[in-house]
Amino acid sequence: MKIRAAVLEEFGAPLVVREVDLAGPEWGEVLVRLHACGVCHTDMYTASGVDPSGYAPTVLGHEGAGVVEAIGEGVSSLKVGDHVVTLFSPQCRECVHCRSEKTNICLSIREQQGKGYLPDGTTRLSRGGEPIRHFMGTSTFAEATVMPEIALAKINPEAPLDRACLFACGLSTGLGAAMNTAKVEEGSTCVVFGAGMVGLGAVAGARLQGAERIVCVDLSADRLELAKGQGATDTLIGGPDAVAQVLEMTGGFGADYTFEATGNVKVMAQAVEAARMGWGLCTVTGVAGKGETLDVIPRWLITGRRVAGSSFGGVKGRDQVPQLIERYLAGEIDVDAFLSHRLTLDEVNKGFDLMHAQDGIRSVIDLT
């Protein structure tokens, strides 16, 4: 079939919205008619050419939601008409990682996905017979996509798809960092560095876990206002004094849980230092620039602080994204506050401009 899609033709140049060919689903694959897709930093990062593992041509986009239009042979967990959220972090339920409670990092299709191929090593996307690669196994800046069944979360059809798509990446990452990775305890004190989609999700996750005090740190007063709406009890303007201020707010000890959601390695170090002596746990979610390293003074660790990293918030996508969506539908998560701009597919590059200008939290592309 012919679909319109936003193609990364050349690094550093705007995406080109054009017609491409999409073949039907093969064994274990599903054709999804996309309804909405969020614009995320990772798309912009890859488009810029800075990511050494990037490839082109490819169809970008990974925060998708839509409706199943066709299924390939062997697909048993999805049927035509099901509403789905796309997962760049799949869940096969069979590999040694999927069978462990300790991680959400499924091993089954990593290698091919990382190279831009579907699990059988080929692509369904093409143009004039030339293959186009699948970005993050999703390629959701498009009217439709073909994805493995194991990379689709079946959600309650009552969830509006323009909100549900935000659970495909940043929001679930933040929520999960607090709920799965850190497992924030009731009555605890949390500090979240960064009030973008991920940090705000972590604030909401800490609130859902029953944290008593949630301090959000950001450079933007507007974003800190949004953090209050998600449950932050205190806010701080970030900078070199942030750790001293956190210590002052916590009787000199630091916080039970800290979260880093900025991608800045200096802030990661602040988040480690601001964790409480004795048992403080720092969860790092930000993606640092190529070659950057985290500078941690060993004494911070010897005196009881711990550091954890979190990919997609430790969320096992097929099991847990539907659960998070249920909590949203029950009124426990305010998703509307994150949806700042609505764009058409043709305006995809404007989504990057808005993100660059830090205008709003998320732009969502309407693909219907």
Ligand X SMILES: NC(=O)c1ccc[n+]([C@@H]2O[C@H](COP(=O)([O-])OP(=O)(O)OC[C@H]3O[C@@H](n4cnc5c(N)ncnc54)[C@H](O)[C@@H]3O)[C@@H](O)[C@H]2O)c1
Q: Give the residue among 42, 33, 34 at the shortest CA–CA distance from 60.
A: 42
Q: How far is the CB of 126 from ligand X (least distance, A)?
A: 29
Residue with Cβ nearer ligand X (129 or 291) = 291
Is 98 an annotated catalytic residue? yes
Q: Give the residue among 28, 35, 124 at the shortest CA–CA distance from 76.
A: 28
Asked if 59 touches Zn ion (CB under 5 A), the answer is no
Question: Which positions from 94 through 153 interact with ligand X, judged by CB under 6 A?
Answer: none
Is 62 an annotated catalytic residue? yes
List CB contacts of 264: < 8 A, sequence separation 6 or more: 286, 288
Partnered with residue 216 across adjacent β-strands are 192, 235
Residue with Cβ nearer ligand X (79 or 342) = 342
Query: Got the DSSP string for 167-222?
Result: GGTHHHHHHHIIIIIS-PPTT-EEEEE--SHHHHHHHHHHHHTT-SEEEEEES-HH
**Catalytic residue of the set 33, 110, 133, 341:** 110
Residue 106 binds which of Zn ion, ligand X, none (CB < 5-8 A, kind-dependent): Zn ion
Residue 283 binds which of Zn ion, ligand X, none (CB < 5-8 A, kind-dependent): none
Contact 280, 252 (CB under 8 A): no
**Catalytic residue of the set 37, 46, 58, 63:** 63
Q: Omega into 57 within 30° of 0, i.e. cis?
A: yes
Asked if 180 touches ligand X (CB under 6 A), the answer is no
3-state secondary structure of 270: helix
Query: Which residue stretch of 21-29, 54-62, 280-288, 334-342 sits at the interface with ligand X (rule: CB under 6 A)?
Result: 280-288
Asked if 15 touches ligand X (CB under 6 A), the answer is no
Asked if 246 touches ligand X (CB under 6 A), the answer is no
Contact 61, 13 (CB under 8 A): no
**DSSP, res 358:** T
Neighbours of 77 (CB within 10 A): 13
**Catalytic residue of the set 106, 165, 190, 216:** 106
Residues 36-75 vs ligand X: string with x where CB under 6 A?
-----x----------------------------------
Q: How far apart are CA 244 and CA 50, in angstroms?
A: 34
Q: How far apart are CA 69 and CA 84, in angstroms?
A: 11
Query: Which residue stretch of 32-40, 129-137, 322-330, 342-350 sits at the interface with Zn ion (rule: CB under 5 A)?
Result: 32-40
Is 362 an annotated catalytic residue? yes
Q: How far apart are CA 198 and CA 304, in angstroms?
A: 26
Asked if 287 touches ligand X (CB under 6 A), the answer is yes
Q: Give the residue among 47, 350, 228, 204 at the shortest CA–CA distance from 364.
A: 350
Among 86, 89, 104, 108, binds Zn ion (CB under 5 A): 108
Residue nearest to ligand X (CB): 196
Enumerate the active-site residues.
40-42, 62-63, 92, 95, 98, 106, 110, 169, 362
Binding residues (CB under 6 A) for ligand X: these are 41, 169-170, 173, 193-199, 217-220, 223, 238, 261-264, 267, 285-287, 310-312
Note the residues at the interface with Zn ion (CB under 5 A). 40, 42, 92, 95, 98, 106, 108, 169
